[in-house]
Structure 1
């Protein structure tokens, strides 16, 4: 009996480890239209949705729209390869829309006078685990920053201007070893 219980416990531990897939937190690199890495977005599963910690530099100072898009494709310079906003429940666009928003709609971000953004946002309907609203379903999704602010209502994308930065959200996103310009250089730290 003890052997049977021990075997079941071991099987449960192994299966629990396999189902996690190391999905949270997940860091993705963000690139500008010249294919230069300008920062990162870190996605963390929370009980209230997915928290998105955005840390980028090199943006025009001011307010920018930021959204999750339906494909993990970031072909510069226009990033149209990322498709439309992530909208698995077929809702209208906009956080100010009374009928609900796309699952990929987020509040605007603001770049300081130096072009830096360091903020946290929430995606209340999104998941990292397997689900209809998983950012990692199929091949994955992408995160896009636009040149202007999202007005929160205009269909289909908030009249937020051109796409200026993109990052692929995939299971392997955190394997990108390109140095992050928002972090001090490791060589400089050692000196």
Structure 2
């Protein structure tokens, strides 16, 4: 189906993601490098644009790193995080700055990923909490930021999924 060359805000290479159709969904293979060790939010965003300094498609006054990629690909019926089709497991980067992950998901398909405006793979600066905020910490439940993004933080690296 396609590949995405991941680049950081400075334009440096961060790795590559391959997206391959499978029975009933897609397989996503990520190989990353040149990152600090730790856990990172890892998502598929709904617009295939990775401009390092850009405006959000739904709010041109909101500017920042890779905002041109829009939000996570939504789930059915406008689901909250972690029910978005574009929500993926957290990416682990090893002490040497490299990481690999393979995920098979039935939430995504070619029609979502390769639509008219394409899609992008995003690595966020912080781990994703998957909107898992225990009631003892937030008696009202997770706030709007958490249900929208999983508190994964700034956008650290981005790659547009390109057809072969």
Equivalents in 1 of 2:9, 2:52: separation in Å? 5
| Aligned position for 1:52 | 28
| Aligned position for 1:164 | 156
Gaps of 5+ in 1: 1-23, 95-100, 175-191
How many residue pairs are counted as aligned between the two chains? 138
Aligned 8 A contact 1:139 1:170 in 2:
no
Equivalents in 1 of 2:125, 2:30: separation in Å? 16
Higher relative helix content: 1
The 1:170/1:27 distance shift into structure 2, 3 A limit, reads: closer
Once the two structures are TM-superposed, the CA of residue 91 in structure 1 deviates from its matched residue by 1.1
Candidates 8, 15, 19, aligned match of 1:32: 8
TM-score, L = length of structure 2: 0.79
Higher RCO (CA-CA < 8 Å; seq separation 6+): 2
Equivalents in 1 of 2:3, 2:155: separation in Å? 20
SS in 1 for 2:129: coil
SS in 2 for 1:156: helix
Once the two structures are TM-superposed, the CA of residue 88 in structure 1 deviates from its matched residue by 5.4
The answer to whether the aligner puts 1:123 opposite 2:105 as a matched pair is: yes
* CA RMSD of superposed structures (Å): 1.3
Higher relative strand content: 2
Gaps of 5+ in 2: 54-64, 132-145
Q: Deviations over 1:22-54 (max 9, x none)?
A: xx3x22211111112221000011114111100
Greater CA radius of gyration, 1 or 2? 1
Please list every run of at least 4 consecutive aligned residues from structure 1 whose deviation after the TM superposition is greater than 6 angstroms: none
SS in 2 for 1:155: helix
The answer to whether the aligner puts 1:83 opposite 2:70 as a matched pair is: yes
Candidates 103, 110, 132, aligned match of 2:92: 110
